[in-house]
Structure 1
Amino acid sequence: MSQSLVQVNYTKYDGTLHWNLRMRRLGEDEHGVWLGLPGGSVMRKGHGPDVPITCAHVVLFPRGAWWTAAFNAAPRETEVYVDITSPPEWVSPDEVTMVDLDLDVVRKRTDGNTRLVDQDEFAEHQVRFGYPAEVVAEAEAAGQWLLEAVTRGTRPFGAERERWLDMVDGAPA
Structure 2
Amino acid sequence: MITIQAQKYDGKPHYTWQSEVLDLNDEYVVILSYPETEIKHYTKNIVFTANNWWIELYPFKEWYTISMEVENRKPRDIYCNIAKPSNYKKGLLTFIDLDIDFVKRDGKWKVLDEDEFETHQMKYNYPAEVVNKVWETLDDLQLNLKNKRFPFDGTLENYINQIPNTK
Give the distance between the partners of 1:171 and 1:127, measured in 2 at CA.
47
Give the TM-score normalised by the residue count of structure 1.
0.84
Aligned partner of 1:21 among 17, 40, 47: 17
C-alpha distance in 1, partners of 2:76/2:12? 26
Matched, 1:102 2:90: no
Give the superposition deviation at 1:33.
1.0
Identity value in percent: 22
Moved over 4 A (4+): 75-78
| Structure 1 portions without partners, runs of 5+ | none
Q: Distance in 1 between matches of 2:36 and 2:161?
A: 16
3-state DSSP of counterpart to 2:152: coil
Distance apart, 1:95 and its partner CA: 0.7
RMSD: 2.4
User: Which structure's relative contact order is higher, taking Cα pairs within 8 Å and 6+ residues apart?
Assistant: 1
- Find out whether 1:155 has 2:150 as its counterpart: yes
| 1:118 is the counterpart of 2:118 | no
Q: Could you give the per-residue CA deviations for residues 129-149 of structure 1, whole angstroms, max 9, x where no partner exists?
A: 100111111111111111222
Distance 1:171 1:154, change over 3 A: farther
Aligned length: 165
- Equivalent position amino acid for 2:38 in 1: V
The one-letter amino acid paired with 2:101 is D
Q: Name the counterpart of 2:66.
A: 69
Query: What TM-score, normalized by structure 2, do the two folds share?
Result: 0.87
Q: How does 1:139-150 map to 2 (within 5 A)?
A: 139-150=134-145
